[in-house]
Amino acid sequence: MDCSLFFLLAVWACTERFISQATAEQTESCPDSVLGNERRSSCPKRCQMDKDCPGRRRCLCDGQCGLSCVIPGRTCPWPLPLNPNTISLLLSPAPSFSAISETRCQPGFAMAGSMEAVVRRCQGDRRWSGEDPTCTAVPAIGPRYCPLPYEIRNEFTIKGSSAVGSNILYSCHPGFKLVGNRENFCQQNQTWQYPHPICQRIFCPPPAEVDHGYLVAVQRQEYEVGGDIYYLCKKTFLLDGPNRVNCQSNGTWSEVPFCRARCTVPAQRSRVTLGGLKLWPYEIPDGTVQHGENVTFYCKHPEKQCSFTAVQSCFDGELPAPDCYLGEMPTTMGNIIKFVRLCVIESFIIVVNFLLLPVRWIILFI
């Protein structure tokens, strides 16, 4: 065999092997169908490589048509024709060859076969793959609710709606406290987000003891809300506050009273005014007054020959004499004149009371 012929045969064999490998690689990169909904009535010229295509066409993968001669710069119509029942979105930067779009139904509409969306591709024939989807109106469905058993509705006061997507608020009846979540949400599957809370009965603990007083009630470890108890004070003590105490809805007692002690009147040598009467110390029963009672003392003016009053109040056994207090006690019951002078500063009337035992004369100087 001629050496030159042998050389040409060797070159042809190598070239065929190279073309076959390139074609196989390009064919493997082009599947039969990119999208399952593609339907083509005709396809462009098939090819294996770019050199198989005339003009500006290139050998590109064109869906079900496979490797075809396509002009890369071609575009498909966008936006798609207006359809009030659909929403179309372009998922590629531009509606050019191989671009992807997505079409969904408007709220209240649905596609056949329970499809949520249709994905379409811009083909070499400048058309979008597949058919225009059809969206039909979904029959109106009434509101859906989460269940509220009778015992729950009877146990709580509930505000809000139990419809899907809504919230409710629980509150317990008086005398009970809520344990658990105060708010709940009805989910799409018609179940509640949280377990229902419970209403737990409220009790008050045993009431506090009162010094020098005692409780008029049956002794218990716990008392129901709304229940009343009563306090009394021991002899010579005065009740300060309400004698009836109530178990409140928060589990605490209302204000508890005090038992206040009597006060000893510290006057020893002069009279005081008590309850509108001037009394000597020995004229005051037991020499004491009740808690809260006012006692008027007479103080001697440090400069003028007269006296003025100072009032002190008894508070729980304490009745201090005023700092200004000075008293006088008559030494005999004879004809001793006792002067009690009352001065009214910057006044035009001065009252002088002369006490002459056994006869009293009252002289008014005007």
Per the CB < 8 A criterion, the answer to whether 133 and 86 are in contact is yes
What's the pLDDT score for residue 346? 33
Interacting residues of 60 by C-beta distance below 8 A, sequence separation 6+: 67, 68, 70, 72, 97, 98, 124
What's the pLDDT score for residue 65? 85
Buried b (16+ CB within 10 A) or exposed e, 204-224: beebeebebbebeeeeeeebe
Domain 150-201 has CATH 2.10.70.10: yes
- Length of the chain as a residue count: 366
* pLDDT over 90, % of the chain: 37
* Of the ranges 111-115, 229-233, 283-287, the best mean pLDDT one: 229-233
Interacting residues of 6 by C-beta distance below 8 A, sequence separation 6+: none
Nearest of 230, 273, 270 to residue 253 by alpha carbon: 230
Is the per-residue pLDDT at 340 higher than 50? no
Residue 131 confidence class, pLDDT cut points 50, 70, 90:
confident
What's the pLDDT score for residue 244? 94
Amino acid, res. 215: L
CATH node for 86-137: 2.10.70
Across 28-40, average pLDDT? 58
Please provide the average confidence, as pLDDT, over all residues in the chain.
78
Is the per-residue pLDDT at 115 higher than 70? yes
Residue with tokens 């045969």: 9
Residue 179 confidence class, pLDDT cut points 50, 70, 90:
very high
What's the pLDDT score for residue 120? 92
What's the pLDDT score for residue 35? 57
Amino acid, res. 19: I
Terminal C-alpha separation, the chain: 172
Is the per-residue pLDDT at 148 higher than 50? yes
Residue 32 confidence class, pLDDT cut points 50, 70, 90:
low
User: Which 3 state secondary structure label does DSSP give 91?
Assistant: coil
Across 67-82, average pLDDT? 88
Residue extent(s) of CATH 2.10.70.10 domains in the chain: 150-201, 203-260, 263-365
Q: What number of other Cβ atoms are within 10 A of residue 271's Cβ?
A: 20
Taking only the tens place, the pLDDT of each residue in 240-288 is: 999 999 999 889 999 999 999 999 998 877 888 888 899 988 888 888 9
Between CA 246 and CA 232 the distance in angstroms is 15
Per the CB < 8 A criterion, the answer to whether 336 and 330 are in contact is yes
Residue 22 confidence class, pLDDT cut points 50, 70, 90:
very low
Per the CB < 8 A criterion, the answer to whether 172 and 156 are in contact is yes
**Lowest-confidence range among 283-287, 297-301, 330-334?**
330-334
Residue 338 confidence class, pLDDT cut points 50, 70, 90:
very low
Across 136-140, average pLDDT? 83
CATH node for 203-260: 2.10.70.10
Across 184-200, average pLDDT? 93
Taking only the tens place, the pLDDT of each residue in 38-55 is: 666 678 889 999 998 998
Nearest of 328, 319, 269, 256 to residue 290 by alpha carbon: 319
What's the pLDDT score for residue 345? 36
What separation in angstroms does the CA of 187 have from each of 156, 166, 168? 21, 8, 12
Between CA 320 and CA 310 the distance in angstroms is 11
Element (H, E) at 152: helix 150-155
Is the per-residue pLDDT at 12 higher than 50? no
Interacting residues of 58 by C-beta distance below 8 A, sequence separation 6+: 50, 69, 70, 71, 72
Between CA 127 and CA 18 the distance in angstroms is 35
Is the per-residue pLDDT at 332 higher than 60? no
CA 23: distance to chain centroid? 71
Per the CB < 8 A criterion, the answer to whether 209 and 256 are in contact is no
User: How many Å is the Cα radius of gyration of the chain?
Assistant: 54
Torsion of CA 171, 173, 179, 181, to 10 degrees: -10
* pLDDT over 70, % of the chain: 78
Task: Indicate the CATH number of 263-365 among 1.10.1060.10, 2.10.70.10, 3.90.550.10, 3.40.50.2300.
Answer: 2.10.70.10
What's the pLDDT score for residue 170? 95
Between CA 104 and CA 116 the distance in angstroms is 6
According to the 3-state scheme, what is the secondary structure of 71-90? CCCCECCCCCCCCCCEEEEE
Return the bridge partners of 6, or none. Answer: none
Element (H, E) at 12: helix 3-28
Residue 352 confidence class, pLDDT cut points 50, 70, 90:
very low
What's the pLDDT score for residue 275? 86
